[in-house]
A and B are shown apart, each in its own frame.
Chain A
Amino acid sequence: MSDIITVKNLSKSYGSNQVLNDVSFALESGQIIGLLGPNGSGKTSLMKIFTGLINDYSGEVLVDGTRPGPVSKSKVAYLPEKTYLANWMTADDAINYIADFYDDFDKAKAMRMLDRFQLPHKQKAKTMSKGQQEKLQLLLVMCRNAKIYILDEPMGGVDPAARDFILDAILKNRPEGSTILMSTHLIHDIEGCLDSIIMIGRGRLLMQGTVPQLRATGKTINEIFKEVFSSDWQE
């Protein structure tokens, strides 16, 4: 399989705080990849670089062969951690908005999913609950037939039932051959569906490998994660 994302000597800092320091790696296409690391390890920054939201970095980043920009953005479906809908938008408005900009967006599927998710068509985002807004954003992302899905903490801050619902929606609606890069703290919940993982921390790439390779050590990914990052919490 070919590489869908390649990173060479990537460094990014916020003032004196270096979040990524000379990081290099490549991600294979067609996989579900877990991006793991503790809070502040640079996971969100890395995802924002891939999606073209951060452009002041050094090094080389290629997303499906091009630098992050309008061309790569049309191939990437991005689910940020934040709720980003405009207050005035209804679910229908949001669907029309995304359909306008992404040729790979399946509007009919979005309308069907809207009903399946029991989301109101005409209710404004500002009056929706956080859960409803998150469901709507997930729908907007998963109704695209994108090459790459970049999902930042898609199950963060939700109850276990909602986690299953979200994970199910991601896995069922993922087009064949697409790549999913997903950051999360809830390793235990997603371990079973990951093909490979990448661990970053202290500004560096700490580990990368396929799940079968890592499990061959006799440990779960959760245990490996704890081992790698436990020193960060020791006095």
Chain B
Amino acid sequence: MTGRNEKIKSKMGKLIKNDFLASARVIPFFYLLLIAAMAAFLIGTKTNNNKLLAIGMAVSTVVSILLIFVTFFFVVYDFYKSLFTQQGYLSFSLPVTSRQLLGSKMIVYGLWMILSYVVFLGVIWYMSNYLQEDVIGEETMNTADVFLTMFNLPTKSQIIIYALYIIVFFFVLVLTFISMIYFSISASHMRAFQKANLVWAVVIFVALFILMTVAIELLEKAFVVNLIFYGDKNTPSIVFGYDNYAGTSFSLIPLIFFIVLNIVLFFLTADIMHKRINIK
């Protein structure tokens, strides 16, 4: 029995592979388009060809934005199509658990989604960097440095920790967004909502979003868990409850909440997929 269970666990890798193959039919095309546009932009900068530079810059920006929307479309479409249409007969009869089916899609589409945001931010950062150097000029950058020093803003180490926090928070936020979509689609295919499942999927998503916003508000009022930099210290402290500190801080409640919400939604969605869905 143990050997058989191990075989079932090893199927997770196969699921990820096949979900990746299914998703890799369209999405990479946009990355290739982006690479071509960026190449045009770089050639334009090197050869001082303003026309090529402008076209490369415009296409790169548009494609990087488009990439987010295309990825988002596939996040929703593939989940719906492979599990809740006739294709579900294939997916649900595989020798895997519903948690594995869901987990595989969360991993593959979570990574695609994060990649699309990272690429978008990278393109914007690169373009703005170019504009700063060549258009805004060195004087403006020096002025910004003076402002940073004048207002006693965080040190370099503090900024790195902030950045790390923001990256982690952002990844968790993307996964939460996907979890909410998958939960809404799955719940809308339960018998009670089956007749108008598209409408119900939207209603459930909006309701979940409102509940989530209210819950964060209430939790932030009820509990205080802050990451604080005391004075010039570069290592932050986690402080529970209010404290008379003199330093910069930010709340960890939203991050903790989103991690918990992700876990709860994952198990709820897998449970709905396992027990409450009857594919037509």
Contacts and interface: CB of A to CB of B under 8 A. Distances in A.
Contacts of A83: 86
Interface in A62-98: 69-71, 73-74, 76, 78, 80, 82-86, 88, 97
A14 interface: yes
Contact of B86 (A51, A74, A82, A100): A82
A130 to B, nearest CB: 12
Contact of A84 (B7, B89, B276): B89
B4 interface: yes
Given A54-B278, A88-B22, A70 B93 contact: no
B8 A70 contact: yes
Interface residues of A, number: 28
Contacts of A71: 1, 4-5, 8, 95
B82 interface: yes
Interface stretch (B10-18, B136-144, B180-188, B245-253): B10-18
B191 A14 contact: yes
Interface in B75-98: 81-82, 86-90, 92-97
B46 interface: no
Interface in A20-39: none
Nearest to A51: B93
Given A71-B4, A80-B89, A86 B22 contact: yes
B221 interface: no
Main secondary structure of the interface of B (DSSP, over half): helix
Given A73-B95, A74-B7, A85 B90 contact: yes
B25 interface: yes
Nearest to A150: B93
Contacts of A229: none
B62 interface: no
B25 A74 contact: no
A175 interface: no
A70 B90 contact: no
Contact of B17 (A53, A73, A86, A100): A100
Select the residue from B4, B90, B96 with max chain A CB neighbours within 10 A.
B90
A27 B4 CA distance: 24
Interface string A30-63: 0000000000000000001001111110000000
A225 interface: no
Contacts of B25: 88
A183 to B, nearest CB: 15
Contact of B97 (A69, A88, A101, A103): A69
B279 A102 contact: no
Nearest to A54: B278
Interface string A153-185: 000000000000000000000000000000000
B156 interface: no
B92 to A, nearest CB: 5
Nearest to B98: A55
Contacts of A85: 87, 90
Contact of B96 (A70, A80, A82): A70
Interface in B1-40: 1, 4-5, 7-8, 11, 14, 17-18, 22, 25
A192 interface: no
A101 B14 contact: yes
A93 to B, nearest CB: 8
Interface in A134-151: none
B97 A53 contact: no
A53 B95 contact: no
Nearest to A69: B97
A97 B7 contact: no
A51 B90 CA distance: 11
A88 B14 CA distance: 18
29 contacts: A14-B278, A15-B191, A52-B92, A53-B92, A53-B279, A55-B274, A56-B278, A70-B8, A70-B96, A70-B97, A71-B5, A71-B8, A73-B94, A74-B4, A74-B7, A74-B95, A78-B93, A80-B93, A82-B89, A83-B86, A84-B87, A84-B88, A85-B90, A88-B22, A97-B18, A100-B18, A101-B14, A101-B96, A103-B7
Interface of B: 1, 4-5, 7-8, 11, 14, 17-18, 22, 25, 81-82, 86-90, 92-97, 191, 274-276, 278-279
Given A53-B92, A76-B93, 4 more contacts: A56-B278, A74-B8, A78-B93, A101-B95
